[in-house]
């Protein structure tokens, strides 16, 4: 573990069964609760502008990820009255995609600190990405994808911002998705089942761009506006 390597994508690791369906539905429940709290905290109030750096080769191809995004600084209260802060982007890049960014350990939501980081920490140490006993500073990105015109939104081609650390880990907790990673004419398509962990390091993290494609929304209604959640961890 991670179980699959992609020989032509250096630094990319894939474990299709990192978490069980039950663990994932717990993470989804906690994530949707948090989304509801973010939405009620911001409630259409004023937003600040952020500059999201993207390498020239992503920008120049006119993939529609603008470098200026709008966010609100949100303070939330977790259990035992612990205050945390994040940057919340109600619309990130495309309609139907909201993103919350939690920086530093003191700002991690309870569910991430309790149920996510300990296992991932063990994994990065075991795989040699972090030395034993070194304290790591974690960043958590929560992606919330909604229904837009009968499709569930995706995330257009991008490279994760440098501040997210040398390794990016995507945990796919809610719904199967098609992930693509590309460099020049070379592209790999990876179906992410629920419970999958994808780890991008080295070349795959810095020199390849990646995206998640929109998918068909299920027929009928849903319990929640958010149809897909992904949890992305990085550390420094
Ligand atoms: O939603 C996903 O699976 C990918 C998210 C992603 O690429 C990111 O947060 O940088
Ligand atoms: Fe990404």
| 1 CA → ligand 2 middle, Å | 21
38, 225 Cβ separation under 8 angstroms: no
* Token pair of 55 as six digits: 């390498």
Smallest-distance ligand from the CA of 97: 1
| 143 CA → ligand 1 middle, Å | 7
DSSP codes joined into one string, 158-214: E---GGG-S-EEEEE-SS-EEEEEEETTEEEEEEE-TTEEEEE-HHHHHTSEEEE--
Question: Which is more confident, 183 or 52?
Answer: 183
Burial of 83 per CB tally in 10 Å (0-12, 13-18, 19+): exposed
Smallest-distance ligand from the CA of 214: 1
Q: Looking at the chain, how many residues does it have?
A: 236
* The residue to which tokens 């709290």 are assigned: 37
Percentage of the chain surpassing pLDDT 70? 93
| Peptide bond connecting 54 to the previous residue in cis, omega within 30 degrees of 0 | no
Q: Which of 14, 69, 141, 174 to mutate to test the pocket of ligand 1 (most atoms within 8 A of CB)?
A: 141
Distance CA 221, CA 38 (A): 23
Pocket, ligand 1, Cβ cutoff 6 A: 141, 143, 155, 160, 170, 172, 177, 210, 212, 230, 232
pTM equals 0.94
5, 183 Cβ separation under 8 angstroms: no
What is the structure's pLDDT at 61? 55
Burial of 7 per CB tally in 10 Å (0-12, 13-18, 19+): exposed
Q: Which of 86, 152, 210 to mutate to test the pocket of ligand 1 (most atoms within 8 A of CB)?
A: 210
3-state SS class at 47:
coil
> CA 46 from chain center: how many Å?
24
Could you report the predicted ipTM of this complex, rounded to two decimals? 0.99
| 5, pLDDT greater than 90 | no
What is the structure's pLDDT at 14? 95
| 63, pLDDT greater than 50 | no
φ, ψ at 97 (rounded to 5°): -115, 115
Q: Which atom of ligand 1 is nearest to the CA of 211?
A: 7
Pick the CATH number of 4-235 from 2.60.120.620, 2.40.110.20, 3.30.1180.20, 3.10.180.10: 2.60.120.620
Please report, for the chain, the start and end positions of each structural domain, with discontinuous segments joined by +. 4-235
Ligand 1: residue whose CA is nearest its atom 1: 230
| 47 CA → ligand 1 middle, Å | 22
pLDDT tens-digit profile of 75-129? 999 999 999 999 999 999 889 999 999 999 999 999 999 999 999 999 999 999 9
Q: Which atom of ligand 1 is nearest to the CA of 164?
A: 10
């Amino acid at each position: 573990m991670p179980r699959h390597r992609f020989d032509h994508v250096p630094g990319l690791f894939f474990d299709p069964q990192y978490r069980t369906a039950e663990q994932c539905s717990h993470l989804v429940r906690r994530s949707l609760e948090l989304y509801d709290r973010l939405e009620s905290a911001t409630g259409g109030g004023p937003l600040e502008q952020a500059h999201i750096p993207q390498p020239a080769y992503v920008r120049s191809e006119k993939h529609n990820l603008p470098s200026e995004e709008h966010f609100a600084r949100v303070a939330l209260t977790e259990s035992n009255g612990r205050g945390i802060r994040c940057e919340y982007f109600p619309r990130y890049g495309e309609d139907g995609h909201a993103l919350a960014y939690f920086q530093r350990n003191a700002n991690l939501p309870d569910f991430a600190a309790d149920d996510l980081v300990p296992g991932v920490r063990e994994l990065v140490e075991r795989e040699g990405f972090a030395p034993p006993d070194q304290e790591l500073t974690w960043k958590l990105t929560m992606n919330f994808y909604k229904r837009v015109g009968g499709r569930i939104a995706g995330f257009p081609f991008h490279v994760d911002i440098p501040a997210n650390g040398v390794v990016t880990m995507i945990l796919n907790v809610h719904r199967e998705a098609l992930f693509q990673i590309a460099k020049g004419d070379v592209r790999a398509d990876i179906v992410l089942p629920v419970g999958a962990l994808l780890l991008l390091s080295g070349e795959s993290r810095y020199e390849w761009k990646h995206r998640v494609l929109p998918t068909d929304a299920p027929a009928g209604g849903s319990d929640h506006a958010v149809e897909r959640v992904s949890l992305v961890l990085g550390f420094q």
